Structure 1
Protein backbone atom coordinates (compact mmCIF):
# COMPACT_ATOMS: atom_id res chain seq x y z
CA UNK A 1 0.00 0.00 0.00
CA UNK A 2 2.96 2.31 0.54
CA UNK A 3 4.67 1.74 -2.80
CA UNK A 4 7.99 0.29 -3.84
CA UNK A 5 10.02 2.81 -1.83
CA UNK A 6 9.02 1.20 1.47
CA UNK A 7 10.33 -1.96 3.07
CA UNK A 8 9.06 -3.96 6.05
CA UNK A 9 10.67 -3.50 9.45
CA UNK A 10 10.60 -6.00 12.32
CA UNK A 11 12.61 -5.17 15.43
CA UNK A 12 12.52 -6.95 18.80
CA UNK A 13 12.64 -4.51 21.71
CA UNK A 14 12.50 -5.78 25.31
CA UNK A 15 11.23 -9.10 24.01
CA UNK A 16 8.42 -7.59 21.93
CA UNK A 17 8.59 -7.60 18.14
CA UNK A 18 7.45 -4.31 16.64
CA UNK A 19 6.40 -4.38 13.00
CA UNK A 20 6.17 -1.53 10.52
CA UNK A 21 7.48 -0.13 7.28
CA UNK A 22 10.27 2.29 6.42
CA UNK A 23 10.87 4.46 3.38
CA UNK A 24 12.38 7.70 2.12
CA UNK A 25 15.49 9.67 3.02
CA UNK A 26 16.04 12.66 5.25
CA UNK A 27 15.21 13.58 8.86
CA UNK A 28 13.35 10.76 10.67
CA UNK A 29 9.60 10.88 11.26
CA UNK A 30 7.71 8.21 13.19
CA UNK A 31 4.00 7.70 12.40
CA UNK A 32 1.77 6.01 15.00
CA UNK A 33 -1.78 4.81 14.33
CA UNK A 34 -4.85 4.53 16.52
CA UNK A 35 -7.66 2.11 17.38
CA UNK A 36 -8.77 -0.13 15.73
CA UNK A 37 -6.23 0.37 12.96
CA UNK A 38 -2.58 -0.33 12.19
CA UNK A 39 0.29 1.41 10.40
CA UNK A 40 -1.57 1.07 7.08
CA UNK A 41 -3.75 4.06 8.03
CA UNK A 42 -0.83 6.23 6.86
CA UNK A 43 -0.82 4.88 3.30
CA UNK A 44 -1.92 8.23 1.85
CA UNK A 45 0.39 10.35 4.01
CA UNK A 46 3.61 8.33 4.33
CA UNK A 47 4.63 8.21 0.62
CA UNK A 48 4.31 12.00 0.37
CA UNK A 49 6.33 12.63 3.52
CA UNK A 50 8.96 10.17 2.28
CA UNK A 51 9.88 12.66 -0.45
CA UNK A 52 11.63 14.72 2.24
CA UNK A 53 11.92 12.47 5.30
CA UNK A 54 12.84 8.99 6.42
CA UNK A 55 9.40 7.74 7.40
CA UNK A 56 8.78 4.88 9.81
CA UNK A 57 5.15 3.80 10.21
CA UNK A 58 4.91 1.27 13.03
CA UNK A 59 2.29 -0.94 14.65
CA UNK A 60 1.83 -0.41 18.38
CA UNK A 61 2.28 -3.52 20.51
CA UNK A 62 -0.90 -5.58 20.34
CA UNK A 63 -1.96 -3.99 17.05
CA UNK A 64 -1.39 -4.92 13.42
CA UNK A 65 1.45 -7.40 13.07
CA UNK A 66 3.37 -6.42 16.20
CA UNK A 67 3.56 -8.91 19.06
CA UNK A 68 0.78 -9.22 21.62
CA UNK A 69 2.46 -9.62 25.03
CA UNK A 70 0.64 -10.38 28.26
CA UNK A 71 -0.96 -7.38 29.92
CA UNK A 72 -0.20 -8.31 33.50
CA UNK A 73 -2.58 -7.91 36.45
CA UNK A 74 -2.22 -4.11 36.43
CA UNK A 75 -2.49 -3.86 32.60
CA UNK A 76 1.00 -2.30 32.48
CA UNK A 77 1.83 -4.40 29.44
CA UNK A 78 -0.43 -2.12 27.41
CA UNK A 79 0.20 1.17 29.17
CA UNK A 80 1.10 4.10 26.97
CA UNK A 81 4.42 4.14 28.83
CA UNK A 82 5.25 0.64 27.57
CA UNK A 83 4.11 1.47 24.05
CA UNK A 84 6.15 4.68 24.00
CA UNK A 85 9.26 2.83 25.19
CA UNK A 86 8.76 0.30 22.37
CA UNK A 87 8.75 2.99 19.73
CA UNK A 88 11.73 4.88 21.16
CA UNK A 89 13.71 1.62 21.17
CA UNK A 90 12.56 0.86 17.62
CA UNK A 91 13.80 4.21 16.33
CA UNK A 92 17.09 3.86 18.22
CA UNK A 93 17.59 0.41 16.68
CA UNK A 94 17.01 1.93 13.23
CA UNK A 95 19.69 4.54 13.92
CA UNK A 96 17.50 7.47 14.97
CA UNK A 97 18.16 8.62 18.56
CA UNK A 98 16.06 11.75 17.94
CA UNK A 99 13.06 12.08 15.68
CA UNK A 100 9.73 13.76 15.01
CA UNK A 101 6.60 11.78 15.80
CA UNK A 102 3.04 12.05 14.49
CA UNK A 103 0.32 10.16 16.34
CA UNK A 104 -3.38 9.66 15.71
CA UNK A 105 -5.89 8.50 18.32
CA UNK A 106 -4.20 5.90 20.58
CA UNK A 107 -0.94 6.61 18.78
CA UNK A 108 -1.30 10.25 19.78
CA UNK A 109 -1.70 9.21 23.42
CA UNK A 110 1.48 7.16 23.09
CA UNK A 111 3.11 10.24 21.56
CA UNK A 112 2.02 12.40 24.51
CA UNK A 113 3.51 9.91 26.96
CA UNK A 114 6.69 9.70 24.86
CA UNK A 115 7.10 13.47 25.04
CA UNK A 116 6.90 13.27 28.85
CA UNK A 117 9.03 10.16 29.38
CA UNK A 118 11.60 10.69 26.61
CA UNK A 119 11.86 14.45 25.98
CA UNK A 120 15.42 14.09 24.74
CA UNK A 121 14.24 11.79 21.94
CA UNK A 122 11.32 13.83 20.60
CA UNK A 123 12.30 16.76 18.38
CA UNK A 124 8.70 17.73 17.63
CA UNK A 125 5.33 16.03 17.81
CA UNK A 126 1.90 16.16 16.22
CA UNK A 127 -1.25 15.01 18.02
CA UNK A 128 -4.20 14.15 15.76
CA UNK A 129 -7.79 14.25 17.01
CA UNK A 130 -7.45 13.63 20.72
CA UNK A 131 -7.77 15.42 24.02
CA UNK A 132 -5.54 14.34 26.94
CA UNK A 133 -6.62 11.05 28.49
CA UNK A 134 -6.95 12.43 32.01
CA UNK A 135 -8.87 15.46 30.69
CA UNK A 136 -11.42 13.21 28.98
CA UNK A 137 -12.06 11.17 32.12
CA UNK A 138 -12.29 14.32 34.24
CA UNK A 139 -14.87 15.93 31.94
CA UNK A 140 -17.29 13.08 31.34
CA UNK A 141 -20.83 14.23 30.66
CA UNK A 142 -23.65 12.79 28.59
CA UNK A 143 -22.05 13.91 25.32
CA UNK A 144 -18.63 12.46 26.14
CA UNK A 145 -20.04 9.20 27.50
CA UNK A 146 -22.23 8.71 24.44
CA UNK A 147 -19.52 9.48 21.91
CA UNK A 148 -16.82 7.55 23.78
CA UNK A 149 -18.96 4.66 24.98
CA UNK A 150 -16.25 2.22 23.89
CA UNK A 151 -13.84 3.64 26.49
CA UNK A 152 -16.13 2.41 29.27
CA UNK A 153 -17.20 -0.81 27.56
CA UNK A 154 -13.68 -1.96 26.66
CA UNK A 155 -12.30 -1.15 30.12
CA UNK A 156 -14.64 -3.68 31.78
CA UNK A 157 -12.97 -6.70 33.39
CA UNK A 158 -12.13 -9.74 31.30
CA UNK A 159 -13.71 -11.41 29.61
CA UNK A 160 -16.93 -9.44 29.16
CA UNK A 161 -15.99 -7.25 26.15
CA UNK A 162 -14.01 -10.09 24.58
CA UNK A 163 -17.02 -12.40 24.62
CA UNK A 164 -19.54 -9.82 23.44
CA UNK A 165 -17.38 -8.54 20.57
CA UNK A 166 -16.59 -12.13 19.63
CA UNK A 167 -20.23 -12.64 18.70
CA UNK A 168 -19.95 -10.30 15.70
CA UNK A 169 -16.41 -8.89 15.48
CA UNK A 170 -16.72 -7.65 11.90
CA UNK A 171 -19.91 -5.74 12.70
CA UNK A 172 -18.30 -4.12 15.72
CA UNK A 173 -15.18 -3.19 13.74
CA UNK A 174 -17.22 -1.58 10.97
CA UNK A 175 -19.30 0.38 13.47
CA UNK A 176 -16.10 1.73 15.01
CA UNK A 177 -14.49 2.68 11.70
CA UNK A 178 -17.68 4.40 10.60
CA UNK A 179 -18.07 6.42 13.79
CA UNK A 180 -16.95 9.69 15.38
CA UNK A 181 -18.00 11.90 12.47
CA UNK A 182 -16.56 9.63 9.79
CA UNK A 183 -18.11 7.07 7.47
CA UNK A 184 -16.86 3.59 6.71
CA UNK A 185 -16.12 4.73 3.16
CA UNK A 186 -13.38 6.98 4.52
CA UNK A 187 -11.15 3.90 4.57
CA UNK A 188 -9.63 2.57 1.36
CA UNK A 189 -10.77 -1.00 0.58
CA UNK A 190 -7.27 -2.42 0.90
CA UNK A 191 -6.80 -0.73 4.29
CA UNK A 192 -10.18 -1.98 5.47
CA UNK A 193 -9.23 -5.53 4.52
CA UNK A 194 -6.10 -5.23 6.68
CA UNK A 195 -8.10 -4.02 9.67
CA UNK A 196 -10.56 -6.87 9.16
CA UNK A 197 -7.76 -9.43 8.95
CA UNK A 198 -6.24 -8.35 12.25
CA UNK A 199 -9.54 -7.87 14.09
CA UNK A 200 -10.57 -11.42 13.17
CA UNK A 201 -7.85 -12.64 15.56
CA UNK A 202 -9.18 -12.98 19.14
CA UNK A 203 -5.67 -12.34 20.49
CA UNK A 204 -5.54 -9.02 18.64
CA UNK A 205 -8.93 -8.01 19.98
CA UNK A 206 -7.85 -8.91 23.51
CA UNK A 207 -4.71 -6.80 23.17
CA UNK A 208 -6.66 -3.77 21.93
CA UNK A 209 -9.09 -4.16 24.82
CA UNK A 210 -6.17 -4.26 27.26
CA UNK A 211 -5.06 -0.91 25.83
CA UNK A 212 -8.35 0.56 27.08
CA UNK A 213 -8.14 -1.18 30.44
CA UNK A 214 -4.72 0.36 30.91
CA UNK A 215 -6.03 3.80 29.93
CA UNK A 216 -8.68 3.65 32.64
CA UNK A 217 -6.20 2.58 35.32
CA UNK A 218 -2.41 2.63 35.19
CA UNK A 219 -2.21 5.33 32.50
CA UNK A 220 -4.13 7.70 34.76
CA UNK A 221 -1.70 6.91 37.58
CA UNK A 222 1.22 7.75 35.30
CA UNK A 223 -0.46 10.98 34.23
CA UNK A 224 -1.07 12.00 37.83
CA UNK A 225 2.56 11.40 38.77
CA UNK A 226 3.77 13.40 35.76
CA UNK A 227 1.41 16.27 36.56
CA UNK A 228 2.51 16.36 40.20
CA UNK A 229 6.14 16.48 39.08
CA UNK A 230 5.42 19.39 36.76
CA UNK A 231 5.80 17.36 33.57
CA UNK A 232 5.06 19.36 30.43
CA UNK A 233 5.39 18.88 26.69
CA UNK A 234 8.67 20.62 25.89
CA UNK A 235 9.00 20.07 22.14
CA UNK A 236 7.18 22.08 19.47
CA UNK A 237 3.74 20.53 19.02
CA UNK A 238 1.03 20.52 16.34
CA UNK A 239 -2.56 19.75 17.34
CA UNK A 240 -5.08 18.86 14.63
CA UNK A 241 -8.68 17.72 14.87
CA UNK A 242 -11.47 16.87 12.43
CA UNK A 243 -14.28 19.35 11.86
CA UNK A 244 -17.00 16.71 12.40
CA UNK A 245 -15.28 14.67 15.11
CA UNK A 246 -15.90 14.32 18.83
CA UNK A 247 -12.91 16.51 19.72
CA UNK A 248 -14.37 19.42 17.74
CA UNK A 249 -17.51 19.29 19.87
CA UNK A 250 -15.56 19.98 23.05
CA UNK A 251 -16.78 23.23 24.61
CA UNK A 252 -13.17 24.32 25.14
CA UNK A 253 -10.99 24.81 22.07
CA UNK A 254 -8.80 21.66 21.88
CA UNK A 255 -5.65 23.68 21.24
CA UNK A 256 -6.19 25.60 24.48
CA UNK A 257 -6.54 22.36 26.42
CA UNK A 258 -3.21 21.13 25.07
CA UNK A 259 -1.48 24.48 25.64
CA UNK A 260 -2.22 24.10 29.34
CA UNK A 261 0.09 21.05 29.27
CA UNK A 262 2.94 22.70 27.36
CA UNK A 263 6.14 24.08 28.82
CA UNK A 264 5.87 26.90 26.29
CA UNK A 265 2.26 27.39 25.14
CA UNK A 266 3.50 29.52 22.25
CA UNK A 267 5.31 26.50 20.79
CA UNK A 268 2.02 24.68 20.34
CA UNK A 269 0.00 25.39 17.19
CA UNK A 270 -2.84 23.75 15.34
CA UNK A 271 -6.38 23.88 14.11
CA UNK A 272 -9.28 22.08 12.51
CA UNK A 273 -9.20 19.92 9.38
CA UNK A 274 -12.27 20.78 7.32
CA UNK A 275 -14.61 18.12 6.00
CA UNK A 276 -13.26 15.37 8.24
CA UNK A 277 -14.34 13.47 11.29
CA UNK A 278 -12.05 11.45 13.52
CA UNK A 279 -10.19 9.73 10.69
CA UNK A 280 -8.85 12.96 9.23
CA UNK A 281 -5.71 11.46 7.67
CA UNK A 282 -7.98 9.39 5.43
CA UNK A 283 -10.94 11.74 4.91
CA UNK A 284 -8.95 14.88 4.12
CA UNK A 285 -5.40 13.70 3.67
CA UNK A 286 -4.58 16.72 1.47
CA UNK A 287 -5.07 19.29 4.23
CA UNK A 288 -3.70 16.95 6.90
CA UNK A 289 -0.57 16.37 4.84
CA UNK A 290 -0.12 20.09 4.16
CA UNK A 291 -0.34 20.89 7.88
CA UNK A 292 2.17 18.15 8.72
CA UNK A 293 4.60 19.22 6.00
CA UNK A 294 4.53 22.83 7.15
CA UNK A 295 5.04 21.85 10.77
CA UNK A 296 7.77 19.28 10.17
CA UNK A 297 9.57 21.72 7.93
CA UNK A 298 9.50 24.38 10.61
CA UNK A 299 7.06 26.53 8.65
CA UNK A 300 4.06 25.92 10.88
Structure 2
Protein backbone atom coordinates (compact mmCIF):
# COMPACT_ATOMS: atom_id res chain seq x y z
CA UNK A 1 0.00 0.00 0.00
CA UNK A 2 1.01 3.61 -0.42
CA UNK A 3 2.11 5.45 2.73
CA UNK A 4 -0.81 6.60 4.88
CA UNK A 5 -3.26 4.78 2.62
CA UNK A 6 -4.81 2.56 5.27
CA UNK A 7 -6.11 3.92 8.57
CA UNK A 8 -6.59 0.78 10.61
CA UNK A 9 -9.88 0.45 12.54
CA UNK A 10 -9.19 -2.94 14.07
CA UNK A 11 -10.51 -6.46 13.44
CA UNK A 12 -13.95 -6.91 11.95
CA UNK A 13 -16.41 -8.00 14.65
CA UNK A 14 -18.41 -9.94 12.06
CA UNK A 15 -15.93 -11.40 9.53
CA UNK A 16 -13.20 -13.58 11.07
CA UNK A 17 -9.71 -12.84 9.79
CA UNK A 18 -10.65 -9.46 8.30
CA UNK A 19 -9.58 -6.02 9.41
CA UNK A 20 -11.46 -2.78 8.98
CA UNK A 21 -9.83 0.35 7.64
CA UNK A 22 -10.49 3.72 6.07
CA UNK A 23 -8.98 4.58 2.69
CA UNK A 24 -9.03 8.15 1.40
CA UNK A 25 -9.20 8.23 -2.39
CA UNK A 26 -7.54 10.68 -4.76
CA UNK A 27 -10.91 12.44 -5.00
CA UNK A 28 -10.90 13.04 -1.23
CA UNK A 29 -13.77 10.62 -0.59
CA UNK A 30 -13.11 8.19 2.26
CA UNK A 31 -14.27 4.59 1.96
CA UNK A 32 -14.64 2.09 4.79
CA UNK A 33 -13.08 -1.19 3.68
CA UNK A 34 -12.73 -4.68 5.18
CA UNK A 35 -9.78 -6.76 3.95
CA UNK A 36 -8.51 -10.27 4.51
CA UNK A 37 -6.75 -13.21 2.90
CA UNK A 38 -3.91 -13.67 0.45
CA UNK A 39 -3.77 -14.31 -3.28
CA UNK A 40 -5.12 -12.62 -6.40
CA UNK A 41 -7.19 -9.50 -5.62
CA UNK A 42 -10.95 -10.05 -5.46
CA UNK A 43 -13.24 -7.09 -4.80
CA UNK A 44 -16.84 -7.64 -3.69
CA UNK A 45 -19.28 -4.73 -3.76
CA UNK A 46 -22.61 -4.78 -1.93
CA UNK A 47 -25.93 -3.27 -2.93
CA UNK A 48 -28.91 -1.51 -1.36
CA UNK A 49 -29.82 -1.52 1.51
CA UNK A 50 -26.79 -3.44 2.83
CA UNK A 51 -23.14 -2.64 3.49
CA UNK A 52 -20.01 -4.81 3.19
CA UNK A 53 -21.32 -7.18 5.88
CA UNK A 54 -23.57 -8.81 3.30
CA UNK A 55 -20.50 -10.90 2.38
CA UNK A 56 -19.80 -12.18 5.90
CA UNK A 57 -20.89 -15.77 5.13
CA UNK A 58 -18.71 -16.15 2.03
CA UNK A 59 -15.72 -13.85 2.60
CA UNK A 60 -13.73 -16.15 4.98
CA UNK A 61 -13.86 -19.00 2.46
CA UNK A 62 -12.85 -16.72 -0.41
CA UNK A 63 -9.98 -15.36 1.70
CA UNK A 64 -8.39 -18.82 1.72
CA UNK A 65 -7.48 -18.29 -1.94
CA UNK A 66 -7.78 -14.55 -2.63
CA UNK A 67 -6.94 -11.15 -1.21
CA UNK A 68 -10.52 -10.09 -0.53
CA UNK A 69 -11.50 -6.40 -0.52
CA UNK A 70 -14.94 -5.41 0.77
CA UNK A 71 -15.70 -1.67 0.47
CA UNK A 72 -18.78 0.19 1.57
CA UNK A 73 -20.07 2.14 -1.42
CA UNK A 74 -19.92 5.91 -1.14
CA UNK A 75 -23.09 6.98 0.62
CA UNK A 76 -23.50 3.59 2.32
CA UNK A 77 -22.29 1.98 5.52
CA UNK A 78 -19.43 3.88 7.13
CA UNK A 79 -18.09 5.45 3.93
CA UNK A 80 -18.34 9.16 3.20
CA UNK A 81 -21.68 10.52 2.05
CA UNK A 82 -21.03 13.53 -0.20
CA UNK A 83 -23.86 15.68 -1.58
CA UNK A 84 -25.45 14.42 -4.78
CA UNK A 85 -24.38 17.38 -6.87
CA UNK A 86 -25.86 18.60 -10.13
CA UNK A 87 -27.82 15.90 -11.90
CA UNK A 88 -27.10 13.49 -9.01
CA UNK A 89 -23.74 12.97 -10.70
CA UNK A 90 -21.87 12.20 -7.45
CA UNK A 91 -23.93 9.01 -7.17
CA UNK A 92 -23.74 8.02 -10.81
CA UNK A 93 -22.33 4.58 -11.43
CA UNK A 94 -19.53 6.21 -13.41
CA UNK A 95 -18.35 8.13 -10.33
CA UNK A 96 -18.86 5.11 -8.08
CA UNK A 97 -16.79 3.00 -10.49
CA UNK A 98 -14.09 5.65 -10.36
CA UNK A 99 -14.08 5.19 -6.56
CA UNK A 100 -13.28 1.52 -7.03
CA UNK A 101 -10.44 2.24 -9.42
CA UNK A 102 -8.98 4.84 -7.06
CA UNK A 103 -9.31 2.38 -4.17
CA UNK A 104 -7.43 -0.31 -6.06
CA UNK A 105 -4.80 2.26 -7.07
CA UNK A 106 -4.31 3.08 -3.39
CA UNK A 107 -3.96 -0.61 -2.60
CA UNK A 108 -1.49 -1.11 -5.49
CA UNK A 109 -3.63 -3.57 -7.44
CA UNK A 110 -3.54 -3.06 -11.20
CA UNK A 111 -6.04 -5.74 -12.27
CA UNK A 112 -8.62 -7.56 -10.19
CA UNK A 113 -11.71 -9.75 -10.23
CA UNK A 114 -14.99 -7.99 -9.48
CA UNK A 115 -18.11 -9.33 -7.78
CA UNK A 116 -21.13 -7.05 -7.40
CA UNK A 117 -24.57 -7.61 -5.91
CA UNK A 118 -27.55 -5.38 -6.69
CA UNK A 119 -26.32 -1.74 -6.88
CA UNK A 120 -22.77 -3.03 -6.63
CA UNK A 121 -23.33 -5.01 -9.81
CA UNK A 122 -24.53 -1.88 -11.57
CA UNK A 123 -21.33 -0.14 -10.52
CA UNK A 124 -19.51 -3.17 -11.91
CA UNK A 125 -21.23 -2.79 -15.27
CA UNK A 126 -19.93 0.76 -15.58
CA UNK A 127 -16.53 -0.29 -14.19
CA UNK A 128 -16.11 -2.94 -16.89
CA UNK A 129 -17.09 -0.48 -19.63
CA UNK A 130 -14.95 2.44 -18.47
CA UNK A 131 -11.88 0.47 -17.29
CA UNK A 132 -11.71 -2.71 -19.41
CA UNK A 133 -7.97 -3.08 -18.79
CA UNK A 134 -8.42 -3.20 -15.01
CA UNK A 135 -11.10 -5.88 -14.58
CA UNK A 136 -10.12 -9.44 -15.49
CA UNK A 137 -13.49 -11.05 -14.75
CA UNK A 138 -16.90 -9.91 -13.51
CA UNK A 139 -19.62 -11.59 -11.51
CA UNK A 140 -22.99 -9.83 -11.20
CA UNK A 141 -25.54 -11.09 -8.68
CA UNK A 142 -29.29 -10.82 -9.22
CA UNK A 143 -29.45 -7.95 -11.68
CA UNK A 144 -30.23 -7.34 -15.31
CA UNK A 145 -29.03 -4.12 -17.00
CA UNK A 146 -30.55 -0.93 -15.59
CA UNK A 147 -31.63 0.42 -18.97
CA UNK A 148 -33.22 -2.92 -19.85
CA UNK A 149 -35.24 -3.05 -16.64
CA UNK A 150 -36.54 0.49 -17.11
CA UNK A 151 -37.33 -0.14 -20.78
CA UNK A 152 -39.33 -3.28 -19.95
CA UNK A 153 -41.18 -1.81 -16.97
CA UNK A 154 -44.66 -3.21 -16.51
CA UNK A 155 -47.15 -3.39 -13.66
CA UNK A 156 -45.57 -6.48 -12.13
CA UNK A 157 -42.08 -5.00 -12.05
CA UNK A 158 -43.30 -1.63 -10.80
CA UNK A 159 -45.22 -3.35 -8.00
CA UNK A 160 -42.40 -5.62 -6.88
CA UNK A 161 -39.63 -3.02 -7.27
CA UNK A 162 -41.66 0.01 -6.23
CA UNK A 163 -38.59 1.68 -4.64
CA UNK A 164 -37.14 2.17 -8.13
CA UNK A 165 -39.92 4.73 -8.59
CA UNK A 166 -40.38 5.88 -4.98
CA UNK A 167 -36.75 6.70 -4.17
CA UNK A 168 -36.30 8.78 -7.33
CA UNK A 169 -38.96 11.29 -6.27
CA UNK A 170 -37.60 14.80 -5.59
CA UNK A 171 -35.98 15.42 -2.21
CA UNK A 172 -36.99 15.41 0.55
CA UNK A 173 -40.15 13.33 -0.03
CA UNK A 174 -38.75 9.76 0.17
CA UNK A 175 -36.10 10.75 2.72
CA UNK A 176 -38.74 12.20 5.07
CA UNK A 177 -41.12 9.29 4.67
CA UNK A 178 -38.51 6.58 5.27
CA UNK A 179 -36.98 8.62 8.08
CA UNK A 180 -40.19 8.38 10.11
CA UNK A 181 -39.55 4.64 10.65
CA UNK A 182 -36.38 3.41 8.92
CA UNK A 183 -36.44 0.08 10.79
CA UNK A 184 -39.87 -0.73 9.35
CA UNK A 185 -38.86 0.20 5.81
CA UNK A 186 -35.58 -1.71 6.03
CA UNK A 187 -37.20 -4.85 7.44
CA UNK A 188 -39.98 -4.79 4.84
CA UNK A 189 -37.46 -4.25 2.05
CA UNK A 190 -35.14 -7.10 3.04
CA UNK A 191 -37.90 -9.57 3.92
CA UNK A 192 -39.74 -8.93 0.65
CA UNK A 193 -36.65 -9.65 -1.43
CA UNK A 194 -35.13 -12.56 0.46
CA UNK A 195 -37.00 -15.84 0.16
CA UNK A 196 -35.03 -17.69 2.85
CA UNK A 197 -36.33 -17.09 6.39
CA UNK A 198 -33.81 -15.59 8.83
CA UNK A 199 -31.11 -15.32 6.16
CA UNK A 200 -30.15 -11.91 7.58
CA UNK A 201 -29.21 -12.53 11.19
CA UNK A 202 -30.33 -10.03 13.87
CA UNK A 203 -26.80 -8.71 14.47
CA UNK A 204 -26.24 -8.09 10.76
CA UNK A 205 -29.64 -6.45 10.38
CA UNK A 206 -28.84 -4.24 13.38
CA UNK A 207 -25.68 -3.01 11.66
CA UNK A 208 -27.55 -2.36 8.43
CA UNK A 209 -30.08 -0.36 10.44
CA UNK A 210 -27.35 1.53 12.33
CA UNK A 211 -26.18 2.90 9.01
CA UNK A 212 -29.53 3.11 7.23
CA UNK A 213 -31.23 5.31 9.80
CA UNK A 214 -28.62 8.06 9.37
CA UNK A 215 -30.21 10.95 7.42
CA UNK A 216 -27.14 11.35 5.21
CA UNK A 217 -27.34 7.71 4.13
CA UNK A 218 -31.05 7.96 3.42
CA UNK A 219 -30.34 10.92 1.16
CA UNK A 220 -27.40 9.13 -0.49
CA UNK A 221 -29.57 6.08 -1.20
CA UNK A 222 -32.16 8.25 -2.90
CA UNK A 223 -29.45 10.05 -4.88
CA UNK A 224 -28.11 6.66 -6.00
CA UNK A 225 -31.53 5.73 -7.41
CA UNK A 226 -32.15 9.21 -8.83
CA UNK A 227 -28.85 8.95 -10.70
CA UNK A 228 -29.84 5.51 -12.00
CA UNK A 229 -33.03 6.93 -13.51
CA UNK A 230 -31.31 9.94 -15.12
CA UNK A 231 -27.55 10.33 -15.39
CA UNK A 232 -26.83 6.62 -15.58
CA UNK A 233 -29.30 6.13 -18.42
CA UNK A 234 -27.70 9.02 -20.29
CA UNK A 235 -24.25 7.48 -19.81
CA UNK A 236 -25.53 4.11 -21.02
CA UNK A 237 -27.11 5.66 -24.10
CA UNK A 238 -23.91 7.52 -24.97
CA UNK A 239 -21.97 4.25 -25.04
CA UNK A 240 -23.81 2.97 -28.08
CA UNK A 241 -22.70 -0.59 -28.82
CA UNK A 242 -19.91 -0.64 -26.23
CA UNK A 243 -19.86 -3.97 -24.39
CA UNK A 244 -18.16 -5.74 -21.50
CA UNK A 245 -15.00 -7.38 -22.82
CA UNK A 246 -14.01 -9.60 -19.88
CA UNK A 247 -15.79 -12.89 -19.05
CA UNK A 248 -19.06 -12.27 -17.20
CA UNK A 249 -20.64 -14.79 -14.83
CA UNK A 250 -24.17 -14.27 -13.55
CA UNK A 251 -25.86 -15.57 -10.41
CA UNK A 252 -29.49 -14.88 -9.60
CA UNK A 253 -32.26 -16.03 -7.30
CA UNK A 254 -34.80 -18.17 -9.10
CA UNK A 255 -37.48 -17.20 -6.55
CA UNK A 256 -36.86 -13.45 -6.83
CA UNK A 257 -38.13 -10.72 -9.11
CA UNK A 258 -35.14 -10.72 -11.46
CA UNK A 259 -35.18 -14.49 -11.90
CA UNK A 260 -38.94 -14.65 -12.43
CA UNK A 261 -39.37 -11.69 -14.78
CA UNK A 262 -36.31 -11.89 -17.02
CA UNK A 263 -34.19 -14.30 -19.00
CA UNK A 264 -31.13 -13.07 -17.13
CA UNK A 265 -28.44 -14.44 -19.41
CA UNK A 266 -30.04 -13.15 -22.61
CA UNK A 267 -30.35 -9.62 -21.20
CA UNK A 268 -26.59 -9.56 -20.60
CA UNK A 269 -25.70 -11.17 -23.92
CA UNK A 270 -26.72 -7.84 -25.42
CA UNK A 271 -24.18 -6.09 -23.15
CA UNK A 272 -21.21 -8.44 -22.90
CA UNK A 273 -19.05 -10.57 -25.15
CA UNK A 274 -18.87 -13.75 -23.03
CA UNK A 275 -21.74 -14.58 -20.66
CA UNK A 276 -22.47 -17.62 -18.51
CA UNK A 277 -24.49 -18.05 -15.36
CA UNK A 278 -26.84 -20.06 -13.19
CA UNK A 279 -29.93 -19.50 -11.10
CA UNK A 280 -29.95 -20.41 -7.39
CA UNK A 281 -32.83 -21.60 -5.16
CA UNK A 282 -33.32 -18.36 -3.28
CA UNK A 283 -34.43 -14.75 -3.55
CA UNK A 284 -32.41 -11.59 -4.08
CA UNK A 285 -29.36 -12.22 -1.87
CA UNK A 286 -27.66 -15.59 -2.52
CA UNK A 287 -24.65 -14.59 -0.42
CA UNK A 288 -26.89 -14.47 2.65
CA UNK A 289 -29.55 -17.03 1.68
CA UNK A 290 -27.59 -19.92 0.12
CA UNK A 291 -23.89 -19.07 0.67
CA UNK A 292 -22.62 -22.64 0.29
CA UNK A 293 -24.37 -23.22 -3.00
CA UNK A 294 -23.30 -19.80 -4.23
CA UNK A 295 -19.64 -20.59 -3.46
CA UNK A 296 -20.00 -23.92 -5.24
CA UNK A 297 -20.78 -22.11 -8.49
CA UNK A 298 -18.62 -19.03 -7.91
CA UNK A 299 -15.29 -20.61 -7.00
CA UNK A 300 -14.76 -22.54 -10.27
CA UNK A 301 -15.22 -19.33 -12.24
CA UNK A 302 -12.90 -17.40 -9.91
CA UNK A 303 -10.19 -20.06 -10.21
CA UNK A 304 -10.03 -19.91 -13.99
CA UNK A 305 -6.46 -19.14 -15.11
CA UNK A 306 -5.31 -18.22 -11.61
TM-score above 0.5: yes
Structure 1 distance, partners of 2:129, 2:18, is: 30
Instruction: Confirm whether residue 11 of structure 1 aligns to residue 23 of structure 2.
Output: yes
Match of 1:298 in 2: 304
Structure 1: runs of 5 or more not aligned: none
Residues 194 and 289 in structure 2, CA contact (< 8 A), matched pair in contact too: no
Match of 1:64 among 73, 77, 90: 77
2:160 aligned to which of 143, 147, 150: 147
CA distance in 2, matches of 1:168, 1:36: 15
Are 1:283 and 2:289 matched, yes or no? yes
Question: Contact 1:174–1:184 (CA<8 Å) still a contact in 2?
Answer: no
2:253 matched residue in structure 1 = 242
Q: 1:272: which partner in 2? A: 279
User: 1: distance between equivalents of 2:22 and 2:301?
Assistant: 28
Q: Displacement, 1:181? A: 4.6
8 A Cα contact 1:181 1:246, kept in partner: no
Partner of 2:57: 44
Q: How many residues align?
A: 291
Gaps of 5+ in 2: 1-13
Q: Distance in 1 between matches of 2:227 and 2:197?
A: 27
Alpha-carbon shift at residue 167 of structure 1 (Å): 1.3
Q: CA deviation digits over 1:174-231, x for unaligned, max 9? A: 01111125356210222111101001211111111110010010000001011x2x21
Q: Distance in 1 between matches of 2:194 and 2:100?
A: 29
Deviations 1:23-56 (A, max 9, x none): 0000000000000000000001111000000000
Quick one: which of 40, 55, 69 aligns to 2:68?
55
Alpha-carbon RMSD: 1.1
Structure 1 ranges of 4+ moved more than 3 A: none
- After superposition, the C-alpha distances for 1:108-132 in whole angstroms (9 at most, x for unaligned) are 0000110001111100000000010
Alpha-carbon distance between aligned partners in 2 of 1:129 and 1:270, rounded to the nearest angstrom: 11
SS of 1:19 mapped into structure 2:
strand
What displacement does 1:9 show? 2.5
Normalised by the length of structure 1, the TM-score is 0.95
Give TM-score scaled by structure 2 length.
Answer: 0.93
